[in-house]
Copies of this chain bind each other. A is one copy, B any other.
C-alpha cells in the first residue's frame, strides 16, 4: 500500500515523464530493474510509437471565475493525450469536449485519445449538469513532441533458462485497481523472489498497455517463444472481491493449467471467463504469430466492477491491503506450483542401483520392495515429458514428496531437470 500511495499522484500515460518517475520509484525497490526506451516513431508490427505527451497545466474557468476540472487536482480530469488549447467557449461548445457518466453521476471517467488529436475534459455528471450558461475559459497547456516510450524489465535468473514472465502496465494515471495494483504486486513478487534461488528464471515487465506490449514483443519475440514456460498479465489484483481467471487463447498452456490448479488448491470460488472476455495484454501475447502461454488471474476483472475506469477506483475504497494480500498469496502458491513444474529426465537407461546409495534395502526380503516403490516410480516417469507435479499425480504421492524426490535424485545425479 505504501508503494501504491507513492505512485498514486503521478500522471502516467503510454509515454512521458510520469512513466519514468513511476519506473524510478519501482527501481528503488528493485535495483536491478532496467529501464528501456524506444523513440517516438519506432515501428512495432502494425503500430508506431506516438509522440511523447507532457502536461504543464489544464483547467477550465467558469463564468464566475471559478477554476474546475483542474488537472493538478486530479489527473483524470484531462483526456489522455489532449492537444493544447487556450480560448473561450460557450457552455454548448464546451459540452462537446466533456465526458461524464450519467449512470455514475459522482464519478469522473477515465478517457484517452492516443492516436487521434483532440482535447477534452472528464467531469462528474453531477457537476456537468450544474454548469451554467455563459463563457468558459479553457486552458490546456500540453506538448506533443518527438520523445520516447519507456518500460521497465527485470530478470531474476534461475538455474534454468526457462522463464516465467509477469507483465503489468504503467500507463494508467490515478486509479488504484486498474492499474496501480498490477505494478505494485509485480514489485512485491519480484522483490521476494529476488531473495530466493529459484529454479526457473523470472522476468518482470512494466509496460504501457498495448503499444508497450507490442514494442516489447517486437524486440523480444524469438527469445520469449524459446524460453517462456508460462506468462501472466498482472492487472486488477488489488480489490478483495472474487477471483477471476481469463484463459490464454489456446486455453491449456502450462500457464493456464498451473493457475487453475492453484485456484483449485485454494478451494475458493472464482469466475472463469473465456478468451473472448479478455481485454489486456494477453491480446498481444496470445495473438497468432506470438502464441505465448499467457493468461490472467485477477480479482474483479476490468470492465466488470463499477469503479472501473473512473475516479471511484481508489486506494482504500477499492484496493485494500487484504485484496493485495490475497492476490499475493495466490501468486506465491503459483510460483511454488511452477517451481514444482520441472521435467525430470533420468540420466541412466534402466533403474539406477539404488541399494548402493542407501535408497533400496540391501537385503532382498519378500515385502520390502513396497517401501521404496514411490521413489522408483518417480524415476520411471522421469522421461523429460512429465512435470514433477504430473509425476506426483501418476505416482499418487504428494507434490511435497515428489519435490523431495526430485531434489534427492538431482543431488545424486540420477536425473537432470
Binding site for B on A (CB under 8 A): 44-47, 79-80, 99, 101, 109-116, 118, 120, 210, 213-214, 217-218, 221, 249, 275-276, 279, 283-284, 286-291, 303, 308-310, 345-353, 355-356, 362-367, 369, 373, 376-377, 379-384, 395-396, 414
Contact = CB atoms under 8 A, between A and B. Distances in A.
A350 B109 contact: no
Contacts of A286: 380
Nearest to A346: B288
Contacts of A214: 349-350
Nearest to A215: B350
29 contacts: A44-B350, A45-B348, A45-B350, A45-B352, A46-B348, A46-B350, A46-B351, A47-B350, A47-B353, A80-B364, A112-B363, A113-B364, A114-B364, A116-B355, A118-B363, A120-B363, A218-B349, A249-B381, A276-B395, A283-B350, A283-B351, A283-B376, A284-B351, A286-B380, A287-B346, A288-B349, A289-B350, A289-B383, A303-B366
Contacts of A365: 99, 109, 111
Question: How many monomers of this chain does the complex have?
Answer: 3
A204 to B, nearest CB: 20
Contacts of A362: 113, 115-116, 118
Nearest to A287: B350
A111 B364 contact: yes
B366 A309 contact: yes
Interface centre among A112, A115, A369, A373 (most CB of B within 10 A): A115
Given A288-B383, A346-B288, A380-B286, A46 B112 contact: no
A275 B363 contact: no
Contacts of A377: 276
A330 B407 CA distance: 44
A347 B366 CA distance: 56
Interface centre among A120, A345, A350, A396 (most CB of B within 10 A): A350
Contacts of A363: 79, 99, 111-113, 116, 118, 120
Contacts of A79: 363
A49 B115 CA distance: 69
Contact of A350 (B290, B351, B364, B373): B290
Nearest to A118: B363
